[in-house]
Every structure is written in structure tokens, then in C-alpha cells.
Structure 1
Amino acid sequence: MYSSYSLCKYLVSFHILAIQLLIRSVSSLNITNEYLNHKCRVDQGKYQPGCKYEKDLNSLIRFNADDTSTRGFIHSASSEGRNSTTIIFQCRGDTHKSNCRTCYDTAVAGFRKRCPRNKGGIIWYDQCFLDISMINEHVPRKMNYQNTFSMHNTNNVKGDTKSFNKKTRDLLQRLIGEADKEGPDGVELLYYAVGEERIGTRKVYAMVECVKDVADCRLCLEWSIKRLPKCCDGKQGARVLGTNCNLRYELYPFLRT
């Protein structure tokens, strides 16, 4: 029979082991929230400290903070007209509640650091993106491919790269069909889909996602797939990101289940 001390010691050891297993499990999924890229909207100019634009921006940032935990998506403007402040923000489909709120706070801090006093700018992280602008776009937003970029794993696929590329694009194309379906409520499209498929001896994990205010999710994702041969031919992992949609594939799991 355990003494009270030895039992306490046993429970503490078990608790530590459980935490270690959880950490290993999360890290094995390669879930990160690394900074990926940013773009300051220099054409929109800068604001002076204490001006109305700064006050509107700060107010809008605070006002929308709590919505990130419940909805994971924001398209909000301070007012109509040329001097409005607009925020578009979205968390990745597997990032919810407190994780989404944390990513929002990280993105806001990152924007302020990398685009100090800029009236607008865009910043991307693994789990979310933030777009701040003077332009208040009507919803649904039209496709805009200007603020798009790609990233890829530096390692090449071994073996038949042509077959790997084709089957990976086929997987992404299939996921587009799932993302472009109506959700359970029948009101809006899912705009998000994940999947995996064994290609030869490898298993490929993939994701497609659209920002929830875009006019044509399928069009945006199909355009992104067409970019893969130009940027990421034969690579073990790749992604195409923008302010309308994004997609990604890897040879390891990178999403929460």
C-alpha cells in the first residue's frame, strides 16, 4: 500500500509523464505559429501619433478581439468612406477559441512592429493572417491575387516526381470540392477541407482554405494549384498563401485533428 508521500510522488510523476506525452504528441504534429511574411501598405501612407486614424484603428482592434475566440473570422470597418479603417482576420480552420485569440494578439503585435504607424498592412502566420487597410471592400470580396506568395520545403521528393506532383494536385483538387460545399447549417460554404493520401511509400497531408468573405472560393484555390508547378515542383512540402485563400501539403501532419 502506498504511503501518502509515495502516492503523492506517484501522482506527480504520472502528471509529468502525461504532460510530456502531450507535448510530444503536439510537437510530432509540427503545429507551429511561425511568422511567415508581411507586406506594409506603403501606398496608404502613415498616420501621426494621436490622430483620428490611430484612435479608430486601436478601437477597432479592441472591439474585434473577443470575436476571434468565437468566430475565428473578422471583416469589420470603423466607418464608410475613404477614411475608414478595415480589419480582415481569419484563423486556420483547426485553430479555435484561445488559440485563435492568441494568434490575433500575435498578428496585431507583429503588424505594429513590422509596419510601424502604417495605415495598412498584411501579416501572415502559420495559424492566421491579418489584413488592415483604409479600403473598405464590399462583401463578398472580389478575387485579388496581388498579395499572394508561395513557400516550399527545400528538400526534393525522391523517385517519380512527375507522378508525385500530379497525385498531390489531384488530392488538393478533391479537397476543393469539399471546401466548396455547404456546411451542416446549409447557410454558408465550408471554405475549409483537409485530407491525406498515400502516394507510393509516402503519405501526403493537405489542406485548402478560403477566407470567409470571398466571392469565389473554388476559383481562388484552383488558381493557387496552378501556381505549384512554377514555385514548388517536386518539393516535399509547399504552400500558396494570399488574402483570399491558401493551400498547403506536407509529408507530415501539421494540423490539429
Structure 2
Amino acid sequence: MTYSYSLPKRFVSSILAMQFFIIHSVSSLNLTNDYLNHKCFLDQGIYNSGSEYEDNLNIILRSVRNGNYYNNGFVRTSLGREPAPDAVTVMFQCRGDSYGSKCRSCADTAVAGFRRRCLRNKGGIIWYDQCFLWVSAIGEEMPINTDYKNIFSMYNSNNVRGDAKLFVKKVLDFFSELTLKVDKNSEAGDLVILYAEGKKKLGKNTLYAMVQCVELTIDCKSCLIWSIAKLFKNDNIKQGGRVLGSNCEVRYELYPFIRS
């Protein structure tokens, strides 16, 4: 015997609304790990299949994928003797809310993405929503000082409603608070997490923001200040935006995008 059921329209609407809320929440919190950008270091040349450089690169990328990211989500490792052409250095950093298993998962994604997008290039950078990977011949200077060449911006497609100048002032004030927190951490010693995030009410809206520096960066505050200013060089003010590089990252939105 076959049974058929007819649910009340109000009940069906409630189910659909709940599904939309769940999907929207997942999207807002960036539970996915989207590819953002990459740059291959063409000036460093390419390596040959079966070369010692390829062997060293395979070993070092394997160590990145198998690393322990429960401490501060950062690893820097080198293999090979400088200035030998087979030497390689790798730096990997996760976003401040993506440590542990989420960071390890992003490491897998970043390594696979780098191999695919920078095929046989000795060096390059690839950015994802929750991490980035930097690969270079060891003779190339590590980005201890802010590398302003490898920085890019991304923006929310929605314009700010109302007083855009007031909005920018409040966003900048909030970024200043977060930068101050990171700057204090940078003076705390080794193995500190140069990351700060938070939220603040802006009338009917809530502003969410984060700032982060790579552990090696010696001018973290300067990098953050420059990146924050870059967000608002365009008069067309958006509801959200981010600047990413190999030394620091800043982002703001009017929706939650950071895990607790």
C-alpha cells in the first residue's frame, strides 16, 4: 500500500526558510576554502623533471602537508645548500581562525593548487581564503620586510548605503584598535600569533574585521597600516574588502566571516 502526505504550506515555508538560513550561514562564515589568487615567480626559472630541485621541493611540500598546525598555523622550512640551484624555501601561513585540522586541510589544498598553477616553476605564491603558500629558491630573500609587489585587493560588490565618509572613519577606527592589539603581540617574544579580529555595532549593522601578519614580518604595523589605507583609495566605498600579500592581511565585512 502506498501512502501520500500533504504538508501544510506554512510548514513547507518554514523548512525552506531554515534551509536558506543554514546555507547562508555556511557561506557567510567562509566554511569553504576558495582560491583567491596566485603568482608564479617566472624570474626564478623552472626545474627539470627528475632534478634534485624537484626532489627537494617534493620533500619540503610533503613536510608542509604533514605539519603540526595546532600551535600558531605557521611554518617556514628550507632544504638544500645555498647558493646551490637545488635549494628551496617554503613559507606557509593559515588565517588566525583556521588552525588545527582546518589549517592542515588548507595546506593540502594550497600545495595541490601551487603544483597545478605554477607547474615546474621554482617559486610562486598562492592564496586561498584560509591560508597562503610561498615557495622560492633559497637564494631569494625571504619576505621579512613587507613585499609591496605581491599584494592585491578584493572587494564586496555592494556599495555602502548612507554616509560613506562616516562609514570609512568608523572602519578605520576599528582597524586601528585591532592593529594596536597585534602590535602589542609583536613585542611579546617568539612564536606569537600576530592576529586580531572582532565585531562592532554600526547603527543597524554589525562590522566584522580582522588583521594578521606573517610571523616573520618585522614591520607588521607598517604593513597593516599600508594595507588598510589601500582599501579606501577608491572613492567607491564598498560594504566589504580585503588586502592580501605575503606579509599581512586585512579584511572587513558587514557579515560574519570568521569562526569563533
TM-score, normalised via structure 1 length: 0.85
| CA distance in 1 between partners of 2:222 and 2:28 (Å) | 33
Q: Assess if the C-alpha contact under 8 Å between 1:150 and 1:231 holds in 2.
A: no
Amino acid aligned to 2:76: H
How far did 1:180 drift? Answer: 1.5
How far did 1:170 drift? Answer: 1.1
Does 124-133 or 179-188 show the bigger shift?
A: 179-188
Residues 133 and 190 (structure 1), Cα distance of their counterparts in 2 relative to 1, 3 Å cut? same
- Give the 5 Å matches for 1:22-101: 26-71=26-71, 72-82=73-83, 83=85, 84-101=87-104
Amino acid aligned to 2:132: F
Matched, 1:125 2:128: yes
| CA distance in 2 between partners of 1:183 and 1:219 (Å) | 12
| CA distance in 2 between partners of 1:87 and 1:171 (Å) | 33
How far did 1:187 drift? Answer: 4.2
In the alignment, what sits opposite 2:119? 116
Matched, 1:230 2:233: yes
How far did 1:227 drift? Answer: 0.6
| CA distance in 2 between partners of 1:183 and 1:221 (Å) | 13
How far did 1:182 drift? Answer: 2.9
Q: Assess if the C-alpha contact under 8 Å between 1:90 and 1:129 holds in 2.
A: yes
| CA distance in 2 between partners of 1:51 and 1:256 (Å) | 42
TM-score, normalised via structure 2 length: 0.84
| CA distance in 2 between partners of 1:42 and 1:183 (Å) | 33
Matched, 1:155 2:158: yes
How far did 1:240 drift? Answer: 0.4
Does 201-210 or 29-38 show the bigger shift?
A: 29-38
Residues 76 and 188 (structure 1), Cα distance of their counterparts in 2 relative to 1, 3 Å cut? closer
Does 235-244 or 136-145 show the bigger shift?
A: 136-145
Matched, 1:245 2:248: yes
Structure 1 vs Structure 2: percent identity of aligned residues? Answer: 52
Q: Assess if the C-alpha contact under 8 Å between 1:181 and 1:189 holds in 2.
A: no
Aligned partner of residue 94 in structure 1, secondary structure: coil
| CA distance in 1 between partners of 2:35 and 2:227 (Å) | 21
| CA distance in 1 between partners of 2:115 and 2:28 (Å) | 32
**5+ residue gaps, structure 2:** 1-18
Residues 37-80 of structure 1 show CA distances to partners (whole Å, capped at 9, x for unaligned) of 00011111111100010000001111233324334111111134
| CA distance in 2 between partners of 1:232 and 1:131 (Å) | 32
- The total of aligned residue pairs comes to 238
Amino acid aligned to 2:75: I
| CA distance in 1 between partners of 2:187 and 2:215 (Å) | 16
Aligned CA RMSD, in angstroms, stands at 2.3
Residues 35 and 28 (structure 1), Cα distance of their counterparts in 2 relative to 1, 3 Å cut? closer
Amino acid aligned to 1:207: M
How far did 1:189 drift? Answer: 4.1
Amino acid aligned to 2:46: K
Aligned partner of residue 39 in structure 1, secondary structure: strand
